[in-house]
Amino acid sequence: MQLHRLEKIWLIFGVSMLFLFLIVLGVSTFVMGMEPPNSHQLESFDPAKVSETAPFNEPVLKKIGENEYEAVMVAYAFGYSPDKLEVPAGSTVHFKVTSSDVVHGFEIPGTNANMMVVPGEVNHVSHQFDEPGEYLIICNEYCGTAHEFMSTTIVVN
């Protein structure tokens, strides 16, 4: 039996779309597979390898501009590393925090800085410290027996 001409066209169209779809899928999978791991910003990694994953292998507070600091920190049960930070008044600190074990919190009471620290992820929060004083950074996610003692201080002077 001969197919109606229109049916034939649709059949060819349908089969072509299917192939096109498979090609697009194959190509994008291939391209994604080829992408070197450092071509995009590090946003997720193996939490068991925090101590060997830059920048978290070296937790540090560093000056990145006038009145601007970056704090690379690791939260762990039960503390934060580096454990004491000090910046001049008027500084904006960009916190970049990960956890080497479980989910922790990162809250600076009296400010808007409040986030969850998820292992395997880079968690960001920024705050401008205008008033001199001692600011507490506390964990507000229950993380184990010493959860309530998990804190550190940022000194603004």
- Which residues are at the interface with ligand CUA (CB under 6 A)? 78, 104-105, 139, 141-143, 147, 150
Structure tokens at 104: 């922790």
CB 146 within 8 A of CB 77: yes
Dist. CA 75–CA 98, nearest whole Å = 6
CB of 72 vs ligand CUA, minimal distance in Å: 18
CB closer to ligand CUA out of 68 and 116: 116
Give 127's strand partners: 93
Pairing of strands 79-81, 151-156: unpaired
CB of 95 vs ligand CUA, minimal distance in Å: 15
CB closer to ligand CUA out of 91 and 152: 152
Residue 9: strand, helix, or coil: helix
CB of 138 vs ligand CUA, minimal distance in Å: 8
**Length of the chain as a residue count:** 157
CB of 135 vs ligand CUA, minimal distance in Å: 17
Give me the amino acid identity at 37: P
CB 125 within 8 A of CB 139: no
